[in-house]
């Protein structure tokens, strides 16, 4: 499995060897079984449906969505928020690998970093999908546009998200490139960036929470607990996704050494899922015991308000999934090999639970009731679902390609 | 590949696979272009000049004239009307303030309608910058109110609370805008450059008064209904995909006229004026009435006051 290792002459310049590396990686990433091609073709088809829906949205205006002036953000921003968490969640592999020198985790830590790349790409796509004028995107670019930094939290988010993308591209790119050259990576070229990426991962989700919790006019979001809650649920959904990915990678590609990292991540989720539930409970107590109009969004979310109940099924599904997942994770037997399907199921439940809690269960109630206490409900339109599923398909494509590029490294970890 | 002894079949296989991959990549690219073809329609409605246009505050006088000429031409083309788009600037030593007498307002909604017409709002969605809440007497809690009331007004047990942009001195909507497409001018009016807004709607989320509106579609206004008397920062017909808001009718008020909602009000509940003018009626009201502002606890410092007789 050294097919990614070239035999370039010792003094070949990076200018020629780097394009060779990129070409080689691309070639390798598009090699695979029939099942792989079927998977990629399916994702491409779904992505194209989404791209077409988005193009129609741009051409016809966002009237094709079900958003309104009352509920002015919907499924796109819900998914954006969740994806930021997924990107940050990958850091739960980086911390054991680099701070606790977990050897086994270190060998496969690139999975978490590649997930961060795919997730951030999806974040950026969700933001663009939500823009009324994507053609004016350049207004957001520092220097040539008009960047309202540091006042607007959105400009901070632009910086931290793109910075996190670049950091992870650099770390993964450098390690894979060194492997391609058959050289030992020089720690000064990546260890400082890895350390920075740990802090940065926390920052992307904190800043994303600040987007919402800094708004005084939205009592549901205006809580200091939002950023910690975001982080706790990110450290559930990120590891949960990675565990499922690793179970599949092991089964499909035969990469070894994944069981111990899976166990480590399971132990992390055991803690984070409880912290998250504790914070949800704390939030709910404060809302409902205090009562008053401050609690009306929470009332709407959990029980409906004035007969309007669109979010009630969503939120109780999330609560059910989160509690079941928490119970499963607390059961010590979950790590036994024969219970792998159950572990995957628990991860899926935790993942979907976090997706609802942070998406439909967080963004929408911020707008219901509106600031003038109107109750306008929101259910995503078909167009919004198409665009959303299309972006997910694209993200999975990026993740698949990235993992395939890294397979030689995963199958045969460096020994230094 | 390089280290396997390069035998002929491998090379053949390589080139064949490369050709197949190339073919699929081409197919994929073609399908993508087809999928996003509706964008071509959108591109037709937008010109290079519009794409390249700089922020309002950075336009020179000549550039402004060019932009305005282009916008007037577009209005003619798309709406079949000759419109005049002015560039009304703040009057020196002026700070506009609004007040509403809630003892007098009877919820007839004429202000809502006048705003709709004056500001060239989309006819299909019946848009307006003003919403009126029908509130039960004995509470200030908006949760008790209704914006969808009907029937004869005023009802005995109700009072009526019109809400529009409060032109805050600490506007959260301005702070959150990532591209400075919205700002507060010297006379206190918060404006939007409709040609700079990217349509992220963060300002809509930030505003505590539901003052902002988004153009979910290209506004439709029949030619005979278009108000041709327009201004760049106020009532010119907005492009699709951008945010808009009440501008205290700056195309009127900066020319010495009163806002359309005030002129339309049959009850005389609305008072508008320059707070810096000691002889103005608005100044008299603020000095002599017990006035209050909406959501004072949020620290937005509105330039919009409410009072009872």
Residue bearing tokens 């910690």: A228
In sign, the C-alpha dihedral spanning A74, A77, A80, A82 is negative
Burial class from Cβ neighbours inside 10 Å (0-12, 13-18, 19+) for residue A361 reads buried
Kindly state whether A215 is in contact with chain B, defined as any CB-CB distance less than 8 angstroms.
yes
Q: State whether A152 and B242 contact (CB < 8 Å).
A: no
What distance in Å separates the CA atoms of residue B253 and residue A392, rounded to the nearest whole number? 50
What distance in Å separates the CA atoms of residue A117 and residue A105, rounded to the nearest whole number? 19
pLDDT tens digit string along A66-87? 999 999 999 999 999 999 999 9
Mutate to test the interface with A, among B44, B129, B133, B198 (most CBs of A within 10 A): B198
pLDDT tens digit string along A146-184? 999 999 999 999 999 999 999 999 999 999 999 999 899
Mutate to test the interface with B, among A41, A50, A59 (most CBs of B within 10 A): A59
For position A7, what pLDDT does the model report? Answer: 52
Write the CATH number of the domain with boundaries B96-307. Answer: 3.30.70.20
Domains identified in chain A and CATH numbers: 32-410 (1.20.1630.10)
pLDDT tens digit string along A32-53? 899 999 999 999 999 999 999 9
Burial class from Cβ neighbours inside 10 Å (0-12, 13-18, 19+) for residue B218 reads middle
For residue B1, pLDDT over 60 is answered with: no
Q: How many CB atoms lie within 10 A of CB B25?
A: 11
Selection from A401, A245, A17, A406 nearest residue B21 by Cα? A401
Q: How many CB atoms lie within 10 A of CB A12?
A: 12
B182 - beta bridge partners? B192
Selection from A383, A136, A97 nearest residue A261 by Cα? A97
Q: In chain B, what residues touch A137 (CB-CB under 8 Å)?
A: 198
DSSP conformation class of A305: B
Residues in chain A with pLDDT < 70? Answer: 1-11, 415-416
What distance in Å separates the CA atoms of residue A362 and residue A81, rounded to the nearest whole number? 9
From the list B178, B197, B212, which residue is nearest A133 (CB)?
Answer: B197
pLDDT tens digit string along B84-122? 999 999 999 999 999 999 999 999 999 999 999 999 999
The kind and range of the H/E element at B101 are strand B96-101
Chain A to chain B Cβ contacts (< 8 Å): 177
pLDDT tens digit string along A119-151? 999 999 999 999 999 999 999 998 899 999 999
Residues with Cβ within 8 Å of residue A394, at least 6 apart in sequence: A43, A47, A50, A121, A122, A125
What distance in Å separates the CA atoms of residue B262 and residue B111, rounded to the nearest whole number? 7
Range A131-169 burial, b when 16+ CB lie within 10 A, else e: bbbbbbeebbeeeebbbbeeebbbbbbbbbbebbbebbe
Domain range summary for chain B, segments of one domain joined by +: 8-36, 50-85, 96-307
For position B2, what pLDDT does the model report? Answer: 43
B231 SS3 class: strand
Stretch B286-300: mean pLDDT, rounded? 96
pLDDT tens digit string along B187-223? 999 999 999 999 999 999 999 999 999 999 999 999 9
For position B9, what pLDDT does the model report? Answer: 45
Our CA-based measurement puts residue B261 at a distance from the nearest CA of chain A, in whole angstroms, of 20
What are the percentages of helix, strand and coil residues in chain A, rounded to 5?
75, 0, 25
What distance in Å separates the CA atoms of residue B91 and residue B95, rounded to the nearest whole number? 9
Per DSSP, the residues of A123-135 read HHHHHHHH-S-GG
B146 SS3 class: strand
Chain A residue with the nearest C-alpha to that of B145: A373
For position B6, what pLDDT does the model report? Answer: 43
CA atoms within 13 A on the CB side of A27: 15
Question: CA A395 → CA A63, A88, A321, A329, B41, distances in Å?
Answer: 26, 15, 24, 27, 27
Kindly state whether A348 is in contact with chain B, defined as any CB-CB distance less than 8 angstroms.
no
For position B12, what pLDDT does the model report? Answer: 53
Q: Are strands B182-184 and B190-192 parallel, antiparallel or unpaired?
A: antiparallel
What is the percentage of chain A residues whose pLDDT exceeds 70? 97
A158 and A145 Cβ atoms separated by less than 8 Å = no
B196 SS3 class: coil
Kindly state whether A101 is in contact with chain B, defined as any CB-CB distance less than 8 angstroms.
no
Calculate the average pLDDT of chain A.
94
B271 - beta bridge partners? B99
């Amino acid at each position: 499995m050294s097919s990614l290792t070239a035999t370039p002459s010792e003094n070949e310049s990076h200018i020629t060897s780097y394009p060779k590396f990129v070409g080689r990686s691309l070639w390798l990433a598009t090699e695979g079984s029939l099942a792989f091609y079927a998977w990629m073709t399916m994702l491409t088809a779904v992505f194209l449906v989404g791209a077409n829906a988005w193009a129609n949205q741009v051409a016809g205006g966002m009237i094709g969505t079900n958003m309104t002036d009352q509920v002015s953000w919907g499924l796109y921003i819900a998914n954006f928020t969740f994806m930021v968490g997924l990107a940050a969640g990958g850091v739960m592999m980086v911390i054991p690998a680099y701070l606790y020198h977990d050897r086994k985790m270190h060998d496969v830590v690139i999975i978490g970093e590649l997930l961060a790349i795919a997730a951030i790409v999806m974040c950026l796509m969700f933001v663009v999908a939500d823009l009324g004028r994507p053609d004016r995107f350049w207004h957001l670019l520092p220097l040539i546009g008009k960047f309202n930094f540091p006042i607007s939290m959105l400009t901070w988010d632009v910086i931290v998200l793109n910075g996190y993308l670049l950091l992870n591209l650099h770390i993964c790119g450098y390690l894979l490139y060194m492997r391609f050259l058959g050289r030992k990576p020089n720690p000064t070229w990546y260890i400082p960036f890895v350390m920075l990426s740990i802090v940065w991962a926390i920052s992307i989700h904190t800043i994303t929470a600040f987007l919402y919790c800094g708004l005084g006019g939205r009592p549901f979001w205006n809580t200091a607990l939002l950023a910690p809650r975001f982080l706790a649920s990110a450290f559930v959904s990120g590891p949960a996704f990675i565990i499922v990915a690793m179970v599949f990678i092991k089964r499909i590609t035969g990469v070894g050494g994944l069981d111990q990292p899976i166990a480590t991540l399971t132990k992390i989720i055991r803690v984070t899922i409880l912290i998250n539930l504790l914070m949800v409970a704390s939030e709910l107590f404060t809302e409902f015991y205090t009562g008053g109009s401050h609690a009306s969004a929470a009332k709407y979310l959990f029980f409906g308000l004035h007969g309007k109940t669109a979010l009630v099924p969503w939120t109780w599904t999330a609560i059910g999934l989160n509690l079941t997942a928490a119970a499963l994770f607390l059961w010590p037997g979950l790590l036994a090999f024969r219970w792998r399907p159950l572990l995957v199921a628990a991860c899926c439940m935790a993942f979907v639970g976090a997706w609802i809690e942070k998406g439909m269960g967080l963004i929408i109630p911020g707008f219901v009731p509106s600031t003038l206490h109107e109750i306008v409900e929101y259910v995503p339109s078909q167009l919004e679902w198409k665009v959303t599923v299309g972006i997910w398909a694209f993200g999975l494509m990026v993740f698949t390609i990235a993992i395939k590029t890294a397979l030689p490294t995963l199958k045969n970890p460096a020994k230094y | 590949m390089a280290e396997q002894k390069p035998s002929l079949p491998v090379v053949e296989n390589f080139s064949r696979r490369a050709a197949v991959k190339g073919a699929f990549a081409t197919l994929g690219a073609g399908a993508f272009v087809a999928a996003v073809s509706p964008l071509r329609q959108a591109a037709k409605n937008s010109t290079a000049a519009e794409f390249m246009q700089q922020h309002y505050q950075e336009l020179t006088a000549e550039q402004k004239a060019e932009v305005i000429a282009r916008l007037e031409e577009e209005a003619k083309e798309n709406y079949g009307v000759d419109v005049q788009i002015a560039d009304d600037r703040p009057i020196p030593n002026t700070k506009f303030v609004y007040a509403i007498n809630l003892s007098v307002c009877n919820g007839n909604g004429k202000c809502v309608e006048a705003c709709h017409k004056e500001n060239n709002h989309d006819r299909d969605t019946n848009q307006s910058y003003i919403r009126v809440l029908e509130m039960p007497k004995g509470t200030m809690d908006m949760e008790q109110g209704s914006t969808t009331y009907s029937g004869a007004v005023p009802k005995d047990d109700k009072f009526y609370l019109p809400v529009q942009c409060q032109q805050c001195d600490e506007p959260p909507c301005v702070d959150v805008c990532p591209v400075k497409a919205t700002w507060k001018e010297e006379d206190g009016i918060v404006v939007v450059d409709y040609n700079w807004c990217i349509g992220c709607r963060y300002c809509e989320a930030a505003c505590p008064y539901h003052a902002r509106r988004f153009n979910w579609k290209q506004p439709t206004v029949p030619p005979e209904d278009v108000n041709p008397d327009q201004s760049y920062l106020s009532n010119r017909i907005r492009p699709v995909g951008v945010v808009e808001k009440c501008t205290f009718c700056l195309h009127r008020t900066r020319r010495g006229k009163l806002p359309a909602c005030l002129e339309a009000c049959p009850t005389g509940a609305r008072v508008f004026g320059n707070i810096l003018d000691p002889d103005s009626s608005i100044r008299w009201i603020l000095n002599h009435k017990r006035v209050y502002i909406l959501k004072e606890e949020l620290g937005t410092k509105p330039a919009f006051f409410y009072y009872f007789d």
